[in-house]
Amino acid sequence: MKKILTTIFAVSILGSGISQAVSDRNTIPVAVNLNRVLRMSVNTGGNIEFTFNTIAQYKNGISGDLATSGSAGTAAANPMYITSFTIAASTKWRLDYGAEDATFIGVDNPANTAFTLDNVGFSLGETGAHAFGTELASIPTNAGAEVAALQAYPVVLLTDGGNAAANAGDATDNAFTMTWRCGTAEGTGLTTPMNQVKLIEQGITPDRFVTNVLFNLIAL
């Protein structure tokens, strides 16, 4: 009798173990790395040089497009004075620019600093999907509507438009052209006017005048 009871008890424990639920648990870590992308690419017009050889150029100036100032007359258009660039950014951004010197400096005579920065100017146009008034703003050019004189660094050239449509995007969104001019005396009454005195009237001692125009792309 004792042997029979023992056998029954053992079978009862085994049956109870089979009826219990079985589970297992694992963990898969998931991480997301958002690396900031901020890049400016100058595609054309990375070196601008104006050469004055004629009286007409001294009187009218030289421009990448047709100057419209009444005081400047009509300057001859030339695509070699056009800089095209793009910006790729994963966040809102600002582009500062400006000459690294307070004035142009003579190469033959570094003391010759009579050629002021505002003898050079530019117009700014957007050629990508982003536009002034929505994603973009430019105070010196009044949102691309005006010719602006070259200024000393730093000046905010381009920035976010300040609305829900941020200026973050790729090169197809943020594409621009700067059309340079020199001696055209454009900008009367504008935000950042060029020198209104024609080069032929300034009496500047001939030299090769140089400066570097700096650009600094900053995340906002």
- Specify whether the CB–CB gap between 119 and 162 falls below 8 A: no
Give the separation between CA 132 and CA 80, rounded to whole angstroms.
25
DSSP lists the bridge partners of residue 84 as 44, 177
Is residue 2 pLDDT above 80, yes or no? no
The model's confidence at residue 4, banded by pLDDT at 50, 70 and 90, is very low
Confidence (pLDDT) at 165 = 80
Whether 73 has a pLDDT exceeding 70, the answer reads no
When pLDDT is cut at 50, 70 and 90, the band that residue 65 belongs to is confident
Q: Which residue has the higher pLDDT, 219 or 66?
A: 219
**What's this model's pTM, rounded to 2 decimal places?**
0.85
* Model pLDDT for residues 208-217, shown as the tens digit of each residue: 999 999 999 9
Please report the pLDDT score of residue 163 as a whole number.
83
Higher pLDDT, 19 or 15: 19
Taking 90 as the threshold, does the pLDDT of residue 46 lie above it? yes
So what's the pLDDT on residue 79? 84
Distance CA 169, CA 130 (A): 9
Q: Residue 66 and residue 75: Cα distance in Å, rounded? A: 6
Task: Copy the structure tokens of residue 216.
Answer: 């600094």
The pLDDT, as a whole number, for residue 187 is: 78
Instruction: Write down the mean pLDDT value for the chain.
Output: 89
